[in-house]
Copies of this chain bind each other. A is one copy, B any other.
């Protein structure tokens, strides 16, 4: 833990920074260089130290973020190594004055430096107890990579001696010196880093040193000499031994970095004004390796894994960060510090408490003890697991540290989904990775983790599950034929298909983990094996998949199965969230079991019940095919009558589960050919049998098969489409085959009557998919109402129900004023709306260019994950406003996958939707996100 945490942190600054100096070529914006007087520059330095700072946390504008933070910490009585901040105003003056500061400025700097010497008792350039400082930039807005830090400033041929005797470690002193030379040369003087590295590499080769740490003191001395040579050669001037000269040059370099190319581009890209300027922080170095009254460590104020209150971390006595990074010594648990350095430990505990109180959040601390004095080098908000985030937020409310709205705001809504799905034990997963069992990575299509036996077809998977086996269904890609296998599987893994492939969509609906489009898999269905690189997986072997990351592992990995009823902190947090949100949260659920789960997660209705999945199940699919290939109305009608039975009983189950709550049922949406076998497979098989037939090698069975397959192929061909996404589907299908609308209406309303008679309160809402024109909805509505009247007459009762539509085509949104004339409700289908607004077919786009677009910044986000406010969102806003102008009581929600994504939920709140609907497992996410959106107002 310590090793990871230390990386990149202040302690690690002992280690040389990467060379990253960029020639300052961009000129300052001032055309009157050097002409302007510096009268306006009144106070250029702000001191902090010994519990008192001239600035404070509110002065980011003048002191930069880092300077203001150091001042704040100091004022909060935190033991911060003292120092001072040069103002951003000074930086601006530097440029206004033609990249030069007046003597008065330097006078002030050195006066303040003297104060620093006084407070620390060290001397700048002193040989006995030399004052060494770090010099860092810090603008109002954090600009990563603007300028690196210069550490150990103040070292020279003399002070290095002092540092050696002070630390009792000459090697350390000389290493610090050569690092300083390197940093100063590279960052301040602009000498390419290779010059230094090259020299060092040569030396290491010569003396047989493998790592930098293998270099002994004498070689470090040699290096120091050589580095000074490089500096003189490259700049034409000797290395400035005078620490004050070092400081002046370093400060100027920080100023110059403000108009360095990197910083300039960064600001241009992020829209940060160029006239903010940067502050410069000059701070005393402290060292933890000055004896056994010194040390260094990191700690969290609460356990970042569980959220349990109490200091949690590691430390080392008489050590510096480098020792830890180099793996030379193993750190101890922080609690042991109570025995080693009881006073220091008590002070650390008090400081941690203070910091947490001050910042009202878990703090991630770095500290150094130098000769019995504790210094806080850094405190920042601690990263934590979702579990810890929830627990800490809830407990902090109980402790009076934060109020409820703050607790609700604080937990990352996206994270909590992890608390609700099976997940791998992190340690076990790490172990598996280290053991080389990570086989491949695919698309993280549906979150959750699963371990099970690999089965390559749905029938075998089903059989094996029937025997009680844990099964993973592994397929090149899935289609409706595979649904019965998916239903019994712990998880699904496919070699092809994107995040909206059949496998992905069905898996998300079922709440099952799925890794899709894992192209490294070579599945040989004949041999019943799967090859990944060198590894061969046999059918029946164990695999583990992590649907949240897309990882595929060989063998088993232990999983943790959460139960929301036991997640008491989460339940408390969510109930707080419920008190604050305005958006309702509904769920997308196709099966009664889904609906129950959704309700357990707090869903207030079903926003999308996709009826097509009801047709995909094993015993129903053949009937659906009968319907599709039927040559006459009668056969078609008989097939529909059979389907009616199934649908009705599904709906009864869902109404039962959602007793008292609304249920939106969408009429059949996908193109009919999705219910038929693949054209490619069929035509290949037909060609094969024809081939046999031509050679008189076909038996009666083949001839029979040929006749059947030829007929089927004809149907499949008839229904084939160049772009099925934009073809005969949704309401278009219903308008071509109104009997389908009638059958589904009947199934819904018969079930509604039945359950009403059983004493349930049912609120069915019938949703028409994919309309592009108001007329389509008008016609579908007429068909539904006609059938409803018949059903109610037959049943001798009526049930209140609504009729509404998906808004998922741009035109439906653009003509919402008309569409609303025929709609009781709108539901945004943002998956399709995103596809058509961008013109991106999700399946094709994600594999072919979309992910590249996101990676290289062409797109800021994947719009299928995060709702696009500018385009898709604008259409939604139009539809909401104009739909409600026609019909003030129009119910409007969203049922696209964005409904469970926090930033999209926030947008839905902003535009005034009544609810968001998402997959059951994301209901808690949406509840929290909705509350956060309401609180953000």
Residues of chain A whose beta carbon lies under 8 Å from any beta carbon of chain B: 679-680, 683-684, 687-688, 691, 721-728, 732, 735-736, 770, 772-773, 775-776, 779, 808-811, 814-815, 818, 832, 835-841, 843-845, 848-849, 852-853, 857-859, 868, 870-872, 874-875
Q: Is the CB of A859 within 8 A of B773?
A: yes
| A841 CA / B814 CA spacing, docked (Å) | 19
Q: Are A871 and B836 in contact (CB under 8 A)?
A: no
B811 & A858 in contact (Cβ 8 Å cutoff): no
A343 → chain B closest CB, angstroms: 57
Q: Are A779 and B858 in contact (CB under 8 A)?
A: yes
Cβ-closest chain B residue relative to A817: B870
> Could you say which of B679, B814, B870 contacts A815, with CB atoms under 8 Å apart?
B870
A872 to chain B, nearest CB (A): 8
Q: Given the interface contacts A839-B836, A841-B725, A848-B728, does A814 sit within 8 Å of B687 by beta carbon?
A: no
Chain B residues near A735 (CB-CB < 8 A): 849, 853, 858
What residues on B are CB-neighbors of A858 within 8 Å? 735, 773, 775-776, 779
CB–CB A844/B723 < 8 A:
yes
Q: Which residue of B lies closest to A774 (CB)?
A: B870
Interface of chain A: mostly helix, strand, loop or mixed: helix
B723 touches A841 (CB 8 A): yes
Report the Cα distance A779→B853, complex, angstroms. Answer: 11
Q: A810-B871, A875-B810 are in contact. Are A841 and B727 (CB under 8 A)?
A: yes
Chain B: CB-nearest residue to A679: B680
Q: Are B844 and A728 in contact (CB under 8 A)?
A: yes
Contacts of A723 in B (CB 8 A): 723-726, 841, 843-844
- Complex-state Cα separation, A725 to B725, whole angstroms: 10
**Which of A732, A735, A770 has most B Cβ within 10 Å?**
A732
**B contact residues around A810 at 8 Å (CB):** 810, 836-837, 839, 871, 875
Closest to A848 in B: B728
Query: Which B residues are CB-close (under 8 A) to A857?
Result: 775
Q: Which residues does chain B contribute within 8 Å of A815, judged by CB atoms?
A: 870-871
Q: Please report the C-alpha to C-alpha distance between residue A26 and residue B838 in the assembled complex, in whole angstroms.
A: 49
A773 to B772, CA, bound (A): 23
Q: A843 — nearest CB in chain B belongs to which residue? A: B722
Q: Tell me how far the C-beta of A396 lies from the nearest C-beta in chain B, rounded to whole angstroms.
A: 41
Residues of B close to A843: CB separation below 8 A: 721-723
Which residues of the other chain, B, contact A776 by a CB distance below 8 angstroms?
858
Of the candidates A776, A811, A859, A872, the one having the most CB atoms from chain B within 10 angstroms of its own CB is: A811
Tell me, rounded to whole Å, the shortest Cβ–Cβ distance linking A268 to chain B.
Answer: 13
Chain B residues contacting A770 (CB-CB under 8 Å) are 839
Known: A725-B722, A809-B838, A852-B736. A870 touches B772 (CB 8 A): no
Interface pair A721/B839, CB less than 8 Å apart: no
A724 to B853, CA, bound (A): 18
Some 18 contacts from A to B, beta carbons below 8 A apart, are A680-B680, A680-B683, A683-B684, A687-B688, A723-B726, A723-B841, A724-B841, A726-B835, A727-B848, A728-B845, A728-B848, A772-B838, A772-B840, A776-B858, A809-B837, A810-B810, A810-B871, A815-B870
Separation of A725 and B688 alpha carbons in the complex (Å): 32
CA distance A724 to B725 in the complex (A): 10
Taking CB atoms, residues of chain B closer than 8 Å to A818 are: 870
Q: Which residues of B contact A727 (CB under 8 A)?
A: 841, 844-845, 848
B811 touches A728 (CB 8 A): no
Q: Which of A808, A814, A839, A870 has the most CB of B within 10 A?
A: A839
